[in-house]
């Protein structure tokens, strides 16, 4: 592998910025308060501020709406109902053709007849300020007819249960069955079949910046401009054009700075489309910024899975088969356009992923319910499939009396077995499970840690060690969404241009969410062209100024967006060198660009500055030979074609202590060895891993959207919904194995979700290791003190 | 999360503050540090017509030593109490509670008197006030009166403060010779309101307990003084058996509330755990 890396033109560049922790170019701007978040955008005094009357009921028919008092309230511009908005837009249905059988009902910007979850926006109020709008919201009277709420996924398909959408016939959104190999034969061959049920609570991604949209319809120009903190500006452009019956080139979507997204801001939210509709109706700018309370009730939730798992293992520790039966309640609609079936689909596709086994059976059932909608949040399906797999592997270890590290060593795919396919038939290009596990055990000093744990146990201190190997889907091709009919770009483009003073302009379809994408793009661009990063200007997040691209999701921006930049940068370098060669009467092949200067390739001797190349090409083309026209702008696009996904892999470990009197869990240490291929910016990669781990730990220990049986969310505020806080978090130690993808020149895979994927599994296994001396086992996240005490029989 | 419209006054004297409160009665709320009030306003859980900001009223802030102990002005910020050597030496129970009150940013703004006057049942300072037998100084139109902590906390967010009255200071008796105090709370995350907490103030002579108060918070509508359980301490030295007896007695004596984090049996169980953990070191 080392030889191949050495062959790569990009990684081999002189003065490479790849692999260096260069500072983020956008950091000073943000630190100085000069960010351009949606709420920072000024569109003048005519701007209306939207607030919504949200359903207080989980399921209720919308009767008469009395908005007279609200319309008459001070500062109110308009009160608009679903029926009025429906005049100017077409509803959407969140299905994908490759998730066969997935169904959903048409969803409108505001519902026409029935509210189907508590917190669903039902009536819009636009006023001169958000405060005035909120005042008027309180004055809108709706004659509700409360309907029975479907809240329990387990009984959603019972004949006695209310059907949420009569047109669909039942509450089944989707069911997938998968059967690979011969699982019955595997069961017959196995010495042990261990079964366990795992529960993953509903939780959500809590962004520092809530969802926000500012829509400005200019009827004079026939132009809709939308500032929107979405991860995918081009996707939003297409959706707005489609559903508001506009020409796509008359819709401009701008997503400059985004204060965290985590998959929360990659969807079609009805209240955001309502805001666009309000601007079209009122012919003025309308802004909607979700507040924290409505964020909890309307930002997508995720997970909410109950998975029965089974593993078949032989006495020698060989794992023969996995089987799962997963049930998930997704809320009343499948989210558009990515659908709410993907999380379950990922669980079916990826369970058992790190291990070499041949027999697999899975069922995933996805049902509608009257709770907030669920969809893709960081590491879609991954924390679930990882915890189920790793919980079962630990169960197999117990059944066979093997050490958890040893059973993993025996069953993880060999590092020299690639390329190969998973039991589910997904191709793996180049992974490093064995090396990652070895590095992990070394980093944590596994044997010494076990000895410490055992010694402390005799003193009544209960500590546990948990391991979790994982795979992660990154760099998705069109096989993820495009093949199912969604207009979500799998490819990304980059345009790079040499300006007259020798600086380089870069426009990319990848988007900045606060994760440092601008830094990564600048490193690749600087390296590919041969200029220092400070000579670059990076433009992201504007459908009018960036090449078509997918944006940021599924850990794709560096691997796909970055590769497009690499190719555009190389093309620009060649264009510059052709021009320089003409000026210098030299062969272009003998030249290179290093440090912003054209040099002689062999000696590195400086020949001509890029500023001089720019000056001549733009201002004195008359001095160039006839027939030579310089071209100093290049656009390249990239999409993975050979592999549907660039799988990454890694291994995590947790070390924790359980206070068996209080049930409190203290996280003592956490490790992650990750293989994301080429590491472009080590600091940003490690921070991605750490941030991901934190969100994984949140799901394992704290975060849960608690609903009562009437479908009321009981903790929709920052006091009661427990996001992880620094004081409770352990040190997180990161390490790397580098197995680049050979599909791109950059070789980078994604890293955004690896931490979230493995952390809950590692914590669950550590917790149960700590509780091993007791007849206590916990597989129901989040692991609260009360659950621990109950498992211990203390209460 | 924008508050309903409200009027705002910032009186320059206590008399003006009392006059403003008296004029508007129950439609007014005192704004002190704002760390609880602003959140309830923004969430529209409360919509007073007028806020009376006492931030500029002179002489309401500060900690001074008195003959009996300490006088802590109602507008004294938590951060000042936390950093006070006087509090550490004369009221160590309060000093040990301070780091548990939310986070530094909140402690920079939030006030000692605000926490007492709000009377959140899961808050630290009301329990400390009851454990120490603090006395509340209250000013109103008719003059000044004092109320014992026991009588001050009446129920859920309910105190002896009448409309038009202002809590101006808390008189905290200084710790006596032979008395010790201990504080512990359990919260899912540091800085959250406690799932359960214990403020203990007990007499200990030669390793034997005497009189004392065990005041639990987060278990009821107000700080709960476990009188019968505390009585078991009298004359005893610490032993695991004593810990068990107290834990059992607490299960009988406490009638805790339930919430998302803990049901009643869990709180009863944790009360015993806290009692053991707080009391055992005090006898040492």
Interval A130-183: pLDDT, tens: 999 999 999 999 999 999 999 999 999 999 999 999 999 999 999 999 999 999
Q: How many domains does chain B have?
A: 3
Residues of B in contact with A130 (CB under 8 A): 2
CATH of the domain at B92: 3.30.465.10
CB A281 within 8 A of CB A79: no
Tell me how far apart the alpha carbons of residues B225 and A234 are, in angstroms, rounded to a whole number. Answer: 62
Strands (E), A513-567: 536-540
> First-to-last CA distance in chain A?
56
In a domain, B2, yes or no: no
What whole-number distance in Å separates Cα of residue A686 and Cα of residue A343?
25
| B36 and B69, same domain (yes or no) | no
**CATH number belonging to the domain at A2-24+491-638, selected among 2.40.50.140, 3.40.640.10, 3.40.50.1010, 3.30.365.10:** 3.30.365.10
Which residues of chain B are within 8 Å of residue A706 when distances are taken between CB atoms? 260
What are the residue ranges spanned by the domains of chain A? 2-24+491-638, 38-147+210-258+265-298, 301-474+645-791
Is residue B98 domain-shared with residue B165, that is, in the same domain? yes
Tell whether A130 lies on the interface with B, counting CB pairs under 8 A: yes
Task: Compute the average pLDDT of residues A628-656.
Answer: 97
Nearest chain A residue (CA) to B196: A662
Buried b (16+ CB within 10 A) or exposed e, A138-147: bbbebeeeeb
For residue A13, what pLDDT is reported? 87
Query: Is there a contact between B189 and A706 if contact means CB atoms under 8 Å apart?
Result: no
| CATH number for the domain that contains residue B46 | 3.30.43.10
B191 and B223 both lie in a single domain: yes
Same-domain status, B67 and B15? no
Contacts of A201 in chain B (CB under 8 A): none
Fold of A301-474+645-791: Aldehyde Oxidoreductase; domain 4 (3.30.365)
Question: How confident is residue A12, by pLDDT bands cut at 50, 70 and 90?
Answer: confident
Residue B101 lies in a domain: yes
pLDDT over 80 (residue A6): no
pLDDT above 70 (res A56):
yes
Interface probe for A, chosen from B1, B4, B247, B276 (most Cβ of A below 10 Å), is: B1
Same domain, B35 and B67: no
Compute the distance between CA of residue A508 and CA of residue A536 in angstroms, rounded to an integer.
12
Q: Which band of pLDDT confidence, cut at 50, 70 and 90, is reported for residue A5?
A: very low
Q: Is residue B1 part of a domain?
A: no
Q: What six digits make up the tokens of B246?
A: 């107290």
Inter-helix orientation angle A754-770/A382-400, to 10°:
30
Residues B167 and B268 reside in one and the same domain: no
Are A648 and A689 contacting, i.e. CB atoms less than 8 angstroms apart? no
Rounded to the nearest integer, the mean pLDDT of chain A is 96
Look-up: residue for tokens 């000013």? B139
Has residue B100 been placed in a domain?
Answer: yes
Which residues of B are less than 8 Å from A202 in CB distance? none
| Mean pLDDT of the region A617-642 | 96
B116 pLDDT exceeds 90?
A: yes
Answer whether A229's CB lies under 8 Å from A259's CB. Answer: yes
Q: Which residues pair with A464 in a beta bridge?
A: A656
| Residue of A132, A662, A698, A701 to mutate for B, most B C-beta atoms under 10 A | A662
- Mean model confidence pLDDT for chain B: 97
Confidence of residue A2 (pLDDT cuts 50, 70, 90): very low
Answer whether the bond into residue B68 is a cis peptide, omega within 30°.
no
pLDDT band at A721 (very low <50, low <70, confident <90, very high): very high
Instruction: Kindly state whether B261 is in contact with chain A, defined as any CB-CB distance less than 8 angstroms.
Output: yes
Average pLDDT estimate for A494-507: 98
Give the integer Cα–Cα distance in Å for A335 and A235. 14
A785/B262 CB distance under 8 A: yes
Which of B121, B146, B173 is at the close of a domain? B173
For chain A, positions 767-786, list CB contacts with chain B under 8 A. 784-786
**Residue A105, token pair as written in the block:** 């009902």
Contacts of B56 (CB under 8 A, 6+ apart): B10, B11, B12
pLDDT at position A179, please? Answer: 98
Helix locations, B111-148, DSSP H: 112-118, 124-132
Strand ranges inside A211-356, DSSP E:
212-218, 223-228, 251-254, 286-289, 301-313, 319-329
Using an 8 Å CB-CB cutoff, list chain A residues near B188. 702, 722, 784-785
Whether residue B16 is contained in a domain is answered as yes
User: Domain end: B112, B144, B173, which one?
Assistant: B173
Residue A14: per-residue pLDDT: 84
Measured between CB atoms, which of A130, A134, A662 is closest to B270? A662
Candidate from B189, B269, B273 with C-beta closest to A722:
B189
Decide if B105 is inside a domain: yes
**Token pair 């109706």 in the structure block, residue:** A281
**Does residue B79 sit in the same domain as residue B154?**
yes
- Given a contact cutoff of 8 angstroms between Cβ atoms, the answer to whether A697 and A280 are in contact is no
Q: Hey, is the C-beta of B4 within 8 angstroms of any chain A C-beta?
A: yes
Smallest Cβ–Cβ distance between A135 and the set B4, B188, B191 belongs to: B4
Q: Is B127 found in the same domain as B168?
A: yes
A291 touches chain B (CB under 8 A): yes
Start-to-end CA span in chain B (Å): 51
pLDDT, position A176: 98
Does B103 share its domain with B34?
Answer: no
Whether the per-residue pLDDT at A198 is higher than 60: the answer is yes
List CB contacts of A644: < 8 A, sequence separation 6 or more: A426, A427, A476, A477, A479, A480
Q: What pLDDT does A11 receive?
A: 85
Task: Give domain status of residue B58, yes or no.
Answer: no
Is residue A735 predicted with pLDDT exceeding 80? yes
The pLDDT-based confidence of B168 (bands split at 50, 70, 90) is very high
B44–A291 C-beta distance less than 8 A = no
A728/B5 CB distance under 8 A = no
Nearest CA to A318 among A212, A402, A215? A402
Residue of B nearest to A794 (CA): B269
A714 contact B CB<8A: yes
Give the residue carrying structure tokens 């002005």: B73
Spell B195-221 as b/e; 16+ CB within 10 A means b. bbbbbbbbbbeeeebeebbbbbbbbbe
What domain range is B25 assigned to?
7-53
Instruction: Sort out which chain A residues have CB atoms less than 8 A from B260's CB and list them.
Output: 706, 714-715, 720
Please name every residue paired with A3 in a beta bridge, in sequence order, or none if there are none. Answer: none
Whether residue B163 is found in the same domain as residue B213: no
pLDDT tens-digit readout, B186-231: 999 999 999 999 999 999 999 999 999 999 999 999 999 999 999 9
| Secondary structure element (H or E) that encloses residue B186, with its range | strand B179-186
Q: Cβ-count burial of A515 within 10 angstroms (0-12 exposed, 13-18 middle, 19+ buried)?
A: buried
Could you check whether A38-147+210-258+265-298 and A301-474+645-791 share the same CATH topology? no
Q: At what angle do helices A562-584 and A517-529 cross, to 10 degrees?
A: 30
Enter the tokens of residue A676: 């994301």
> Cβ–Cβ of B1/A291 closer than 8 Å?
yes
A134/B44 touch (CB, cutoff 8 Å), yes or no: yes
pLDDT at residue A211 tops 80: yes
CB A607 within 8 A of CB A591: yes
Strands lying side by side in the sheet with A591-594: A591-594, A597-600, A606-609
pLDDT, position A15: 86
- The H or E element containing residue A141 is strand A141-146
d(CA B99, CA B113): 17
Confidence of residue A1 (pLDDT cuts 50, 70, 90): very low
| B189 close contact with A: CB closer than 8 A | yes
- Asked if residue A505 has pLDDT above 50, the reply is yes
Q: What is the pLDDT of residue A522?
A: 97
**Of B141, B173, B205, which residue constitutes the final position of a domain?**
B173
Residue ranges of the alpha helices (H) in A302-361? Answer: 342-350
- CATH entry, A38-147+210-258+265-298, from 3.90.1170.50, 3.40.50.2000, 3.40.50.12780, 2.60.40.10: 3.90.1170.50
* Tokens representing residue B178 in the block: 């032979």
Residue B166 lies in a domain: yes
């Amino acid at each position: 592998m080392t030889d191949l890396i050495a062959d790569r033109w990009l990684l081999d560049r002189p003065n490479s910025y790849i692999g260096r922790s260069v500072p983020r170019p956008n950091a000073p701007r943000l630190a100085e308060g000069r960010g351009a978040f949606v709420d920072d955008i000024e569109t003048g005094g005519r701007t209306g501020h939207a607030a919504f009357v949200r359903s207080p009921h989980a399921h209720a028919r919308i009767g008469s709406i009395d908005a007279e008092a609200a319309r008459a309230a001070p500062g109110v511009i308009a009160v608009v109902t679903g029926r009025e908005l429906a005049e100017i837009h077409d509803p959407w249905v969140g299905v994908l053709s490759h998730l066969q059988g997935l169904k959903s009902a048409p969803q409108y910007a505001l519902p026409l007849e029935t509210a189907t979850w508590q917190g669903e926006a039902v009536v819009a109020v636009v006023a001169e300020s958000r405060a005035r709008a909120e005042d008027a919201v309180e004055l809108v009277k709706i004659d509700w007819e409360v309907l029975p709420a479907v809240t329990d996924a387990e009984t959603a398909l019972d004949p006695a249960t209310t059907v949420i959408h009569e047109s669909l016939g039942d509450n089944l959104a989707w069911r997938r069955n998968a059967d690979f190999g011969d699982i019955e034969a595997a069961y017959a061959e196995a010495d042990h079949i261990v079964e366990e049920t795992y529960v993953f609570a509903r939780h959500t991604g809590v962004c520092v910046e809530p969802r926000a949209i500012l829509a400005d319809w200019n009827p004079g120009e026939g132009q809709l401009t939308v500032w929107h903190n979405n991860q995918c500006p081009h996707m939003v452009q297409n959706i707005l054009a489609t559903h508001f019956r506009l020409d796509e080139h008359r819709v401009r979507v701008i997503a400059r700075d985004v204060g965290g997204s985590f998959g929360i801001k990659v969807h079609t939210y009805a209240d955001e489309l309502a805001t666009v509709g309000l601007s079209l109706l009122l012919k003025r700018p309308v802004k909607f910024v979700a507040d924290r309370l409505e964020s909890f009730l309307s930002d997508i939730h995720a997970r909410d899975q109950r998975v029965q798992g089974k593993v078949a293992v032989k006495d020698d520790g060989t794992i023969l088969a996995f089987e799962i039966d997963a049930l998930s309640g997704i809320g009343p609609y499948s989210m558009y356009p990515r659908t709410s079936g993907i999380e379950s689909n990922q669980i079916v596709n990826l369970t058992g992923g790190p291990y070499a086994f041949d027999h697999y059976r899975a069922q995933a059932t996805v049902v509608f319910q009257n709770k907030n909608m669920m969809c893709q949040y960081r590491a879609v399906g991954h924390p679930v499939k990882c915890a189920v797999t790793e919980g079962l592997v630990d169960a197999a270890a117990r059944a066979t009396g093997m050490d958890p590290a040893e059973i993993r060593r025996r069953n993880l795919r060999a590092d020299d077995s690639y390329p190969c396919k998973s039991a589910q038939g997904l191709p793996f290009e180049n992974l490093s499970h064995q090396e990652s596990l070895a590095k992990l055990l070394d980093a944590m000093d596994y044997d010494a840690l076990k000895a410490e744990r055992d010694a402390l146990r005799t003193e009544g201190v209960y500590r546990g060690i948990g391991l979790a190997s994982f795979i992660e889907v990154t760099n998705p091709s069109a096989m993820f969404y495009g093949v199912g009919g969604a207009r979500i770009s799998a490819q990304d483009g980059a345009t790079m241009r040499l300006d007259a003073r020798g600086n380089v302009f870069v426009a990319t379809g990848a988007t900045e969410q606060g994760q440092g994408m601008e830094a990564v793009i600048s490193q690749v661009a600087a390296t590919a062209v041969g200029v220092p990063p400070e000579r670059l200007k990076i433009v992201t997040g504007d459908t009018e100024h960036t090449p078509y691209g997918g944006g940021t999701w599924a850990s794709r921006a560096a691997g796909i967006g970055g590769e497009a930049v690499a190719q555009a940068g190389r093309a620009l370098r060649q264009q510059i060198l052709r021009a320089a060669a003409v000026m210098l009467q030299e062969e272009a092949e003998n030249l290179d660009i290093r440090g912003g200067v054209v040099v002689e390739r062999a000696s590195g001797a400086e020949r001509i500055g890029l500023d001089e190349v720019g000056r001549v090409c733009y201002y004195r083309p008359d001095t160039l030979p006839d027939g030579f026209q310089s071209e100093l702008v290049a656009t390249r696009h990239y999409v993975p074609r050979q592999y549907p996904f660039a799988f990454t892999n890694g291994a995590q470990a947790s070390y924790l202590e359980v206070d068996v009197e209080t049930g409190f869990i203290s996280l003592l240490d956490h490790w992650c060895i990750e293989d994301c291929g080429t590491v472009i910016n080590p600091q940003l990669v490690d921070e991605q891993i750490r941030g991901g781990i934190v969100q994984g730990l949140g799901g394992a220990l704290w975060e849960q959207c608690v609903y009562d049986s009437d479908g009321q969310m009981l903790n929709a505020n920052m006091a009661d919904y427990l996001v992880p806080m620094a004081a409770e978090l352990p040190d997180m130690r990161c390490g790397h194995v580098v197995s680049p993808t050979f599909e791109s020149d950059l070789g980078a895979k994604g890293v955004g979700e690896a931490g979230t994927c493995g952390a809950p599994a590692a914590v669950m296994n550590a917790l149960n290791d700590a509780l091993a001396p007791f007849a206590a086992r916990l597989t129901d996240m989040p692991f609260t003190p009360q659950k621990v005490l109950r498992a211990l029989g203390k209460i | 999360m924008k508050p309903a419209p409200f009027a705002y006054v910032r009186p320059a004297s206590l008399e003006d503050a009392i006059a403003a409160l008296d004029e508007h009665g129950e439609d007014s709320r005192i704004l002190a540090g704002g760390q609880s009030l602003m959140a309830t306003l923004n969430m529209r859980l409360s919509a007073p017509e007028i806020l009376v900001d006492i931030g500029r009223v002179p002489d309401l802030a500060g900690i001074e030593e008195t003959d009996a102990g300490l006088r802590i002005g109602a507008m004294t910020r938590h951060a000042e109490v936390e950093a006070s050597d006087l509090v550490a030496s004369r009221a160590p129970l309060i000093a040990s509670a301070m780091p548990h009150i939310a986070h530094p940013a909140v402690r920079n703004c939030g006030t000692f008197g605000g926490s007492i006057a709000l009377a959140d049942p899961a808050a630290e300072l009301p329990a400390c006030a009851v454990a120490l037998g603090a006395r509340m100084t209250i000013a109103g139109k008719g003059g000044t009166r004092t109320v014992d902590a026991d009588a001050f906390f009446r129920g859920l967010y309910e105190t002896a403060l009448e409309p038009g009255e202002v809590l101006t200071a808390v008189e905290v008796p200084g710790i006596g010779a032979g008395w010790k105090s201990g504080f512990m709370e359990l919260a899912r995350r540091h800085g959250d309101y406690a799932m359960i907490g214990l403020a203990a103030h007990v007499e200990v002579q030669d390793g034997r307990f005497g009189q004392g108060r065990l005041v639990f918070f987060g278990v009821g509508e107000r700080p709960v003084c476990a009188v019968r359980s505390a009585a078991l301490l009298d004359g005893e030295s610490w032993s695991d058996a004593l810990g068990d007896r107290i834990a059992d007695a607490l299960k009988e004596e406490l009638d805790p509330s339930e919430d998302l984090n803990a049901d009643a049996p869990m709180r009863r169980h944790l009360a015993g755990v806290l009692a053991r953990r707080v009391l055992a070191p005090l006898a040492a």
